[in-house]
């Protein structure tokens, strides 16, 4: 099958790739572009480990086709830090031990950042429901939720 | 109670940033599926849709003819392991069963059983190829229920299982692979003395470890037979050993690199894909990558046993428990090996009971072969025992926590499985629970509070580490224990403590199997204890050497040099006047003082120090829907010494939440057709953030005398109490004793409706 040419923007950089029309955006990111920070935990949109932003919208990259990235603005975990300057969420997760194995962490960070853009001062319940689509089997979520709330509080105080 | 600060240590007990942290928050960390090699093929497997069938034929000709297919393997491509060669070495797995589990031979024994594998140039071709492999089956009657499988007329999975441990050994084969029994005292006399007896039966369902990262491997076999493997596993030395045993390769010809591991919880303590990928790579002459889908993870790996349990406990009027018995029937899955021994060992160990009898059965059923899951077996028996204790407390009109206090095991208490307990902190957890504000907080209508405790013996075992002083005085730790939840953080803390240097100057890597001595897999809550001990001992060896180098530099006796705050100092005025030599000073001078400084330690760690926990759980039951909401949860645990309290709390919180999932939602659902109906995260529902409150972890520290810093393993015991804690809270809230897991809304609603 002939491959489709796609022109897109990933983490602010113009990117072109060829993909099979059946390939998901997650497959393209991981297998074609070498951006393996987005993880596949289920392939069915249930676990959120592949969470990325497409045109400012939080999506599971496993439920988006690669060809749908045409002309879009894609943001992944690889673009979250500014060089060696971590995003406040990344820093807080480290300080609070909010990750154990770390496989869900990229997706949770992307989802949490999307929440704080939309709602800079969420309640605990709002954080819990927003992140309900991101499964973590290690932490029991406690330190994740606290970290997101603390980053929001820090930003408010700043 | 707080572990950090004021403990006399510079680093132990501090919440440092883990050395592998930045990679994990930026997406740079390489997990199993993130690895790739040039010219790599994609491997996929064919799985049986039947729970039990004879394989009449496998026709691979059409698949072989497909362009892009480079290799196909079936059981015929693996050495047949005869019963005589099923086990070898110490603490052996059964290679015959393992071989037949990863590639069915003659029969398929569960929905999802692998019977062929393909390597092809890409995923699409590999998927097309597995669809072209024609398998003719002769279906057989199946059994997926543990009690049904024990009946005399049950469909038989294996014709060579004659119940081990039964007296006399049966002459007819059955599905009961093994019977074990532990006794203490005189059980009949004990019950005869009891004033009050409670007795009840319980059921638990099979559940999965549900790590978020599916199994993944890349294998590359060279033409000379040497093999390199990259995989996500709890034990890369185990992968090496099992591949050698299954494929008949010398251990020295296999080198395994552990990828970052995306959760395991015991489920990654065996092999599924690795030997298959090696076999495909050998045949194709190219590297092969295999990654499971989530459906495959549920159908083909894990789970832990479902069980039928009966518990009987007798006490004197004053609350002293005088007799306790339990019968545990555990599903092993398609091959023997349920976590029977630990389930029996942990059942009554939190309590000092003079007369105990525990009987357990390991039962094969047409389900995936069970694999370890966090404190394997203990949560199953504890659910029954701790529920029964709650009933007993009510019957005696004693506060449930007081009943546990009255009977608590302590140092010197004889366990039903033989040894007496060493220094343990069970009573300390009970006391901390009693003193916690949660214990006395008010409850509203339809709300209830449950208490439950738990025990896990913990494991020591083989560990090896190397510790090197680098040229600039920084330290590199080379460990062979896959880091599943932050253990590198605890290793660097312990090394920095011994050496007296900044923790940021110590780094730890998980080395491949050729670069460090043997390590038993990461499991049994053993890494911070056992591998930590190798790091501490190696660091102490380095301190000795650093003192020697300083003594040489100053031309004084080594005994006249002390190591304090990361520098060598003269031991006193008599030793002479010398400017202290910091680690970096000595490191810079090593070419002149005898060459590089490094140490390695390989040990068999003993006396891991048992772990105890006591949990308090508040729930609210919705009488209209049967939904149980966790309102508040406090988990008290003896950690011995919390090296990094943040990751100790994390283990406790994570274990509790897995237990809450086991209590309320998680279950393997099999249809009458013997097929798994919920092989995905949508229908196999693990807890999500909105299901839960904060989980308060309270760390009690009763140091383990066998570890230089007092460490006890912390990873497993937190999953032991939650099911009973939730069940007891439901009992308190609405008066219902739920005797089946999961206590899901339909079951709770049915119980409410029937007024049970």
Residue for token pair 């007795």: B199
- Cross-chain residue pair A135–B294, CB shorter than 8 Å: no
Using CB atoms, pick whichever of A103, A133, A137 lies closest to residue B31: A103
A12 and A74 co-located in one domain: yes
Mean pLDDT of B282-296: 98
Using CB atoms, pick whichever of B28, B214, B485 lies closest to residue A101: B485
Start-end of H helices in B9-138: 21-26, 61-65, 95-102, 123-132
Domains B32-140+213-262+268-300 and B142-206+304-407 alike in fold: no
Where does the pLDDT of residue B83 fall: very low under 50, low under 70, confident under 90, or very high at 90 and above? Answer: confident
Mean pLDDT of B114-123: 97
Distance between CA B463 and CA B530 in Å, rounded?
6
For B169-226, the pLDDT digits (tens) are 999 999 999 999 999 999 999 999 999 999 999 999 999 999 999 999 999 999 999 9
Using CB atoms, pick whichever of B31, B650, B689 lies closest to residue A100: B650
8 A C-beta contact, residue B403 and residue B607 = no
A75 and A50 co-located in one domain: yes
E strands along B318-354, which residues? 321-333
B211 contacts in chain A (CB < 8 Å): 101, 103, 137
Query: Residue B353: in which H helix or E strand, if any?
Result: none
* Helix, strand, coil share (%) of chain B residues, nearest 5: 30, 25, 45
pLDDT value, residue B663: 98
Distance between CA B416 and CA B715 in Å, rounded?
23
How would you class B289 by CB atoms within 10 Å of its CB: exposed for 0-12, middle for 13-18, buried for 19 or more? buried
Query: Which of B133, B135, B134 is closest to B69 using CA atoms?
Result: B133
The CATH number of whichever domain residue A74 belongs to comes to: 3.10.20.30
- Cross-chain residue pair B484–A105, CB shorter than 8 Å: no
pLDDT value, residue B573: 85
For A47-99, the pLDDT digits (tens) are 999 999 999 999 999 999 999 999 999 999 999 999 999 999 999 999 999 99
- CATH architecture of the domain with range B142-206+304-407: 2-Layer Sandwich (3.30)
Residue to substitute from A137, A144, A145, A148, interface B, most B β-carbons within 10 A: A137
8 A C-beta contact, residue B719 and residue B637 = no
A47 and A73 co-located in one domain: yes
The CATH number of whichever domain residue A150 belongs to comes to: 1.10.150.120
Query: Residue B281: in which H helix or E strand, if any?
Result: helix B274-284
pLDDT value, residue B90: 53
CA end-to-end distance (rounded Å), chain A? 54
For B67-77, the pLDDT digits (tens) are 999 999 999 99
Give the residue from chain A lying closest to B690, CA to CA.
Answer: A128
pLDDT value, residue B89: 58
Sign of CA dihedral B583, B588, B594, B600: positive
pLDDT value, residue B192: 98
Q: Which residues of B647-663 are buried (b: 16+ CB within 10 A; e: fewer)?
A: bbbbbbbbbbbbbbbbb
Where does the pLDDT of residue B2 fall: very low under 50, low under 70, confident under 90, or very high at 90 and above? Answer: very low
Q: What does DSSP assign to residue B140?
A: -
For B516-564, the pLDDT digits (tens) are 999 999 999 999 999 999 999 999 999 999 999 999 999 999 999 999 9
Distance between CA B538 and CA B22 in Å, rounded?
27
Mean pLDDT of A138-157: 97
- Cross-chain residue pair B212–A40, CB shorter than 8 Å: no
Residue for token pair 């009977």: B407
Where does the pLDDT of residue B91 fall: very low under 50, low under 70, confident under 90, or very high at 90 and above? Answer: low
- Cross-chain residue pair B15–A95, CB shorter than 8 Å: yes
Distance between CA B364 and CA B333 in Å, rounded?
5
Q: pTM for the full model?
A: 0.97
For A9-35, the pLDDT digits (tens) are 999 999 999 999 999 999 999 999 999
pLDDT value, residue B3: 40
Distance between CA B215 and CA B259 in Å, rounded?
11
List Cα–Cα distances, B197 to B320, B345, B392, in angstroms.
12, 22, 7
A141 contacts in chain B (CB < 8 Å): 653, 657, 687, 689, 692
Distance between CA B341 and CA B264 in Å, rounded?
21
A80 contacts in chain B (CB < 8 Å): 26-27
Residues in a beta bridge with B559: none
Residue for token pair 């049904």: B148
Where does the pLDDT of residue B84 fall: very low under 50, low under 70, confident under 90, or very high at 90 and above? Answer: confident
Domain boundary residue, one of A79, A105, A128: A79
CATH class of B32-140+213-262+268-300: alpha beta
A9 and A40 co-located in one domain: yes
Distance between CA A20 and CA A3 in Å, rounded?
5
Give the residue from chain A lying closest to B680, CA to CA.
Answer: A42
Using CB atoms, pick whichever of B24, B649, B655 lies closest to residue A102: B24
Give the residue from chain A lying closest to B30, CA to CA.
Answer: A36
- Cross-chain residue pair B657–A141, CB shorter than 8 Å: yes
Where does the pLDDT of residue B251 fall: very low under 50, low under 70, confident under 90, or very high at 90 and above? Answer: very high
Give the CA radius of gyration of chain A. Answer: 16
Between chain A and chain B, the number of residue pairs with CB atoms below 8 A apart is: 185
Pairing of strands B567-570, B581-582: antiparallel
A32 token code pair: 């074609």
User: H/E/C letters for each residue in B582-640?
Assistant: EHHHHHHCHHHHCCCCEEEEEEEECCCCCEEEEEEEEEEECCCCCCEEEEEEEEEEECC
Give the residue from chain B lying closest to A143, CA to CA.
Answer: B650
Using CB atoms, pick whichever of B18, B29, B654 lies closest to residue A138: B654
Domain boundary residue, one of A28, A60, A79: A79
ipTM above 0.90, yes or no: yes
Distance between CA B162 and CA B179 in Å, rounded?
10
pLDDT value, residue B40: 97
How far is B357 from chain A, CA to nearest CA, in Å?
35
∠ Cα B9 B15 B21 (to 5°): 130
B476 token code pair: 């590199």
How many other CB atoms sit within 10 Å of the CB of residue B677? 12
E strands along B334-472, which residues? 355-364, 447-456, 461-469
Structural domain boundaries of chain B? 32-140+213-262+268-300, 142-206+304-407, 421-458+609-756, 460-604
A97 and A41 co-located in one domain: no
A36 contacts in chain B (CB < 8 Å): 27, 30-31, 33-34
A8 and A71 co-located in one domain: yes
Residue for token pair 């810093």: B709
B651 contacts in chain A (CB < 8 Å): 100
Cis amide linkage into residue B168, ω under 30° from 0: yes
Average of per-residue pLDDT values in chain B: 96
CATH class of B421-458+609-756: alpha beta
Residues in a beta bridge with B602: B464
A104 and A38 co-located in one domain: no
E strands along B169-276, which residues? 176-184, 196-204, 216-221, 227-231, 254-258
List Cα–Cα distances, B16 to A95, B13, B21, B397, B437, in angstroms.
7, 9, 10, 47, 29
* Beta strands across the sheet bearing B628-638: B447-456, B611-621, B628-638, B695-700
Query: Looking at the predicted structure, is the pLDDT value of residue B4 above 60?
Result: no
| CB-based contacts of B481, cutoff 8 Å, min separation 6 | B463, B487, B510, B519, B522, B527, B531
Query: Looking at the predicted structure, is the pLDDT value of residue A156 above 80?
Result: yes
Domain boundary residue, one of A45, A61, A79: A79
Share of chain B above pLDDT 90, in %: 96
Q: What are phi and psi of B725, to 5 degrees?
A: -60, -45
8 A C-beta contact, residue B678 and residue B651 = no
B646 contacts in chain A (CB < 8 Å): 96-97, 143
Query: Residue B567: in which H helix or E strand, if any?
Result: strand B567-570
Start-end of H helices in B397-499: 400-407, 426-435, 437-440, 487-499
Q: What are phi and psi of B638, to 5 degrees?
A: -85, 115
Q: What are phi and psi of B474, to 5 degrees?
A: -80, 170
A10 and A75 co-located in one domain: yes
A106 contacts in chain B (CB < 8 Å): 25, 27
Distance between CA B218 and CA B216 in Å, rounded?
7
| CB-based contacts of A153, cutoff 8 Å, min separation 6 | none
How far is B655 from chain A, CA to nearest CA, in Å?
8
Distance between CA B175 and CA B211 in Å, rounded?
29
Give the residue from chain B lying closest to A40, CA to CA.
Answer: B213
pLDDT value, residue B143: 98
A70 and A133 co-located in one domain: no
- At the topology level, CATH places domain B460-604 in Aldehyde Oxidoreductase; domain 4 (3.30.365)
Q: What are phi and psi of B311, to 5 degrees?
A: -130, 135
Q: What are phi and psi of B424, to 5 degrees?
A: -130, 160
For B363-407, the pLDDT digits (tens) are 999 999 999 999 999 999 999 999 999 999 999 999 999 999 999
Query: Which of B291, B290, B289 is closest to B40 using CA atoms?
Result: B289
Average of per-residue pLDDT values in chain A: 97
| CB-based contacts of B141, cutoff 8 Å, min separation 6 | B52, B155
* Beta strands across the sheet bearing B461-469: B506-510, B475-479, B461-469, B598-605
Q: How many separate domains does chain A show?
A: 2
pLDDT value, residue B44: 98
A9 and A74 co-located in one domain: yes
Start-end of H helices in B150-233: 187-193
B412 token code pair: 């010197």
**From its phi and psi, is residue B412 left (phi > 0), alpha (psi between -120 and 50) or beta?**
left
For B446-467, the pLDDT digits (tens) are 999 999 999 999 999 999 999 9
List Cα–Cα distances, B608 to B364, B417, B643, in angstroms.
32, 17, 15
8 A C-beta contact, residue B668 and residue B373 = no
Query: Looking at the predicted structure, is the pLDDT value of residue B614 above 60?
Result: yes
How many other CB atoms sit within 10 Å of the CB of residue A153? 11
B20 contacts in chain A (CB < 8 Å): 102
Query: Residue B509: in which H helix or E strand, if any?
Result: strand B506-510
CA dihedral B330, B331, B334, B337 (to 10 degrees): -30
Domain of A41 in residue numbering reads as: 4-79
């Amino acid at each position: 099958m002939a491959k489709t040419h796609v022109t897109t923007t990933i983490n602010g950089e113009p990117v072109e790739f060829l993909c099979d029309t059946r390939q998901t955006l997650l497959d393209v990111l991981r297998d074609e572009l070498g951006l393996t920070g987005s993880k596949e935990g289920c392939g069915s949109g249930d676990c959120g480990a592949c969470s990325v932003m497409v045109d400012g919208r939080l999506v599971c990259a496993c439920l988006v086709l690669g060809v749908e990235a045409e002309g879009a603005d894609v943001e992944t975990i690889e673009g979250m830090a500014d060089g060696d300057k971590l995003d406040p969420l990344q820093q807080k997760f480290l300080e609070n031990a909010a990750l154990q194995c770390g496989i869900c962490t990229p997706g949770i960070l992307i989802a949490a950042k999307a929440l704080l853009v939309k709602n800079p001062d969420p309640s605990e319940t709002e954080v819990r429901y927003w992140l309900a689509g991101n499964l973590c089997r290690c932490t029991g979520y406690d330190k994740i939720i606290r970290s997101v709330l603390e980053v929001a509080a820090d930003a408010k105080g700043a | 109670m707080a572990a950090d600060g004021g403990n006399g240590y510079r680093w132990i007990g501090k919440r440092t940033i883990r050395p592998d942290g930045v990679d994990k928050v930026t997406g740079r960390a390489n997990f199993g599926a993130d690895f790739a090699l040039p010219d790599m093929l994609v491997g996929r497997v064919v799985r049986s849709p039947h729970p039990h069938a004879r394989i009449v034929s496998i026709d691979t000709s059409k698949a072989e003819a497909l362009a892009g297919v480079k290799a196909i393997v079936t059981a015929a491509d693996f050495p047949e392991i005869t019963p005589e060669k099923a086990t070898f070495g110490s603490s052996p797995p059964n290679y015959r069963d393992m071989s037949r589990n990863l590639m069915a031979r003659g029969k398929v024994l569960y929905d999802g059983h692998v019977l062929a594998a393909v390597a092809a140039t890409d995923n699409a071709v590999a998927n097309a190829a597995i669809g072209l492999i024609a398998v003719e089956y002769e279906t057989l009657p199946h059994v997926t229920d543990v009690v049904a499988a024990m009946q005399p007329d049950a469909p038989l999975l294996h014709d060579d299982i004659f119940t081990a441990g039964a007296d006399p050994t049966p002459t007819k084969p059955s599905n009961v692979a093994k019977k074990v029994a532990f006794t203490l005292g005189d059980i009949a006399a004990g019950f005869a003395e009891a004033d009050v007896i409670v007795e009840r039966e319980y059921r638990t369902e099979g559940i999965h470890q549900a790590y978020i990262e599916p199994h993944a491997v890349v294998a590359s076999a060279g033409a000379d037979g040497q093999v390199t493997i990259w995989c996500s596993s709890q034990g890369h030395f185990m992968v090496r050993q099992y591949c050698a045993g299954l494929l008949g390769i010398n251990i020295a010809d296999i080198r395994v690199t552990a990828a970052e591991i995306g959760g395991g919880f015991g489920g990654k303590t065996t092999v599924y894909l690795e030997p298959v990928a090696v076999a495909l790579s050998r045949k194709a002459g190219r590297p092969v990558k295999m990654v499971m889908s989530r459906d495959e993870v549920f159908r083909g790996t894990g789970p832990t046993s479902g069980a039928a349990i009966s518990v009987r406990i007798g006490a004197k009027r004053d609350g002293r428990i005088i007799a306790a018995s339990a019968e545990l029937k555990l599903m092993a899955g398609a091959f023997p090996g349920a976590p029977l021994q630990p389930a029996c060992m942990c059942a009554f160990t939190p309590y000092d009971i003079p007369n105990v009898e525990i009987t357990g059965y390991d039962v094969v059923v047409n389900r995936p072969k069970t694999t370890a899951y966090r404190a394997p077996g203990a949560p199953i028996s504890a659910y029954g025992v701790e529920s029964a204790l709650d009933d007993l407390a009510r019957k005696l009109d004693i506060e449930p926590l007081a009943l546990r206090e009255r009977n608590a095991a302590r140092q010197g208490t004889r366990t039903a499985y033989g040894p007496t307990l060493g220094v343990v902190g069970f009573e300390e957890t009970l006391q901390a629970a009693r003193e916690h504000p949660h214990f006395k907080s008010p409850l509203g209508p339809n709300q209830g509070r449950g208490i439950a405790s738990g025990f896990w013996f913990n494991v020591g075992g083989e560990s090896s580490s190397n510790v090197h002083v680098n040229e600039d005085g920084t330290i590199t730790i080379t460990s062979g224990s896959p880091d599943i939840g932050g253990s590198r953080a605890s290793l660097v803390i312990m090394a920095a403590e011994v050496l007296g240097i900044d923790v940021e100057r110590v780094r730890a890597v998980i080395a491949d199997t050729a670069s460090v001595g043997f390590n038993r897999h990461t499991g049994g809550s053993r890494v911070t204890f056992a591998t930590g001990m190798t790091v501490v001992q190696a660091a102490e060896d380095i301190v000795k050497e650093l003192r020697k180098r300083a003594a040489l530099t100053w031309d004084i006796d080594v005994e006249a040099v002390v190591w304090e705050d990361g520098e060598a100092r003269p031991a006193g005025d008599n030793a002479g006047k010398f400017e202290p030599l910091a680690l970096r000073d000595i490191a810079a001078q090593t070419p002149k003082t005898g060459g590089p400084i490094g140490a390695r330690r390989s040990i068999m760690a003993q006396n891991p120090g048992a772990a105890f926990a006591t949990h308090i759980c508040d729930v609210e039951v919705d009488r209209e829907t049967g939904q149980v909401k966790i309102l508040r949860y406090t988990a008290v645990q003896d950690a011995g010494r919390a090296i990094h309290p943040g990751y100790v709390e994390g283990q406790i919180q994570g274990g509790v939440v897995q237990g809450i999932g086991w209590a309320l939602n998680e279950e393997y659902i099999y249809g009458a057709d013997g097929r798994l109906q919920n092989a995905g995260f949508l229908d196999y529902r693990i807890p999500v953030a909105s299901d839960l409150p904060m989980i308060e972890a309270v760390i009690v520290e009763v140091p383990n005398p066998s570890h230089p810093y007092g460490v006890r393993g912390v990873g497993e015991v937190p999953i032991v109490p939650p099911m009973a804690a939730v069940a007891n809270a439901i009992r308190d809230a609405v008066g219902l004793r739920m005797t089946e897991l999961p206590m899901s809304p339909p079951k709770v609603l049915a119980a409410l409706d029937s007024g049970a």
